[in-house]
Amino acid sequence: MSTNDIPLVAEAEAKVPPAVTRGSRMGKASRQTRGMLVSDVVLIATLLAVVAMVLVPGWIAPYSPTEFNPAVAMMPPSWEYPFGTDEFGRDILSRVIHGARPTLVVAIAGAIMGVGLGTVTGLLAGYAGGRTDEVLMRFMDALMSFPTLILATLIVVMLGSNPVNVIAAIGIVFWPRSARIARAVAQDVAQRSFIEAAWVRGESHAYILFRELLPGVLNVVVVDLSLRITYGTMLSASLSYLGIGVTPPTPAWGLMVKDGQQFIQFASWMVIWPCVAISVVAVAAVLAGERLRQILAPTERGN
């Protein structure tokens, strides 16, 4: 299929059968990946720092993110202003710290909304099959025919440029993509005999959906969610870079880059630091997703 939205990196390894098909053993490598690694400590520290920036930016940031201070405009990084200042003399470090919330809250909320909608849709389509599946998935196809950023932009512009609508836009954009993944897994699980066993027993659809099917899909949904948060960060940053969904003086990272770009020739720190923040968060989220996938990977794949 042309449109399967495989989470990056994820599926790649999962599909590969172990080199030894006979005899059951758990390789050294896989045992290792379940334990704690040094890189995990770094990863967790980074994520904790990001969480703190989202929850209590005021406790960490040395200056106000919005107060003008023309006396120190466009200062290069120094001990006093580690990340430098912008054209209004605002401390970039403080703005980056305060920028976490407007950038990430919409990303996370949007991802949760999209994955939630997608999981329900995908489960239904994958379980019901037939006409229901056809209708639901054609609708999802239509939604997917819009490139992500364009659909999100359209929705925000038409609904009104505010954070709630950005969340809705991100949610709607992710909906069909998560639905495809949930459907693929649900279909896979639905083919297994224990679903038929439940049918023969005369179980209700609700029991089969939630007790038999859902547990098998949940792992993938969790991994999908962590990846969607990464994409959501990209999307929310890109939207704010285009000036959509946030208004100055909100220190959203994308907006900071957009405003700083005109000074890039002689005050590159105005662009570099928010870019670094975006990159660190995105990479941390993608790595966290990858680790989650390793930890949640089933120990036995059955046949």
Return the residues of window 256-295 that contact another protein according to CB under 8 A: 257, 261, 264-265, 268, 271-272, 275, 278-279, 282-283, 285-287, 290
**Alpha helix locations (H) across 191-268?**
193-201, 205-207, 214-241, 253-260
Q: How far is the CB of 32 from another protein (least distance, A)?
A: 13
For another protein, which residue of 150, 162, 247, 248 counts as binding (CB under 8 A)?
Answer: 150
Residue closer to another protein, measured from CB, 115 or 281: 281
User: Helix or strand or coil: residue 25?
Assistant: coil
What is the chain's length?
A: 303
Select the span of 57-65, 68-76, 107-115, 201-209 touching another protein (CB under 8 A): 201-209
Distance CA 227, CA 251 (A): 24
Distance CA 190, CA 137 (A): 17
For another protein, which residue of 45, 56, 196, 247 counts as binding (CB under 8 A)?
Answer: 196
Beta bridge partners of 268: none
For another protein, which residue of 52, 146, 292, 294 counts as binding (CB under 8 A)?
Answer: 146
- Rg (the chain; Cα; Å): 23
For another protein, which residue of 37, 51, 199, 262 counts as binding (CB under 8 A)?
Answer: 199
Closest to 185 measured CA to CA, from 158, 222, 160: 222
192 scored as a contact of another protein (CB under 8 A) = yes
Q: How far is the CB of 5 from another protein (least distance, A)?
A: 8
For another protein, which residue of 36, 38, 59, 202 counts as binding (CB under 8 A)?
Answer: 202
The answer to whether the beta carbons of residues 27 and 18 sit under 8 Å apart is yes
Q: How many residues bind another protein (CB under 8 A)?
A: 85
Select the span of 36-44, 61-69, 106-114, 142-150 touching another protein (CB under 8 A): 142-150
Count of CB atoms situated within 10 Å of the CB of 250: 19
Q: How far is the CB of 50 from another protein (least distance, A)?
A: 14
Distance CA 52, CA 60 (A): 8
Distance CA 231, CA 111 (A): 8
Site for another protein in 75-134 (CB under 8 A): 134
Residue closer to another protein, measured from CB, 49 or 154: 154
Distance CA 149, CA 170 (A): 9
H-run or E-run covering 172: helix 163-190
Site for another protein in 229-258 (CB under 8 A): 230, 233-234, 237-238, 241-244, 254, 257
Site for another protein in 23-52 (CB under 8 A): 23, 25, 27-28
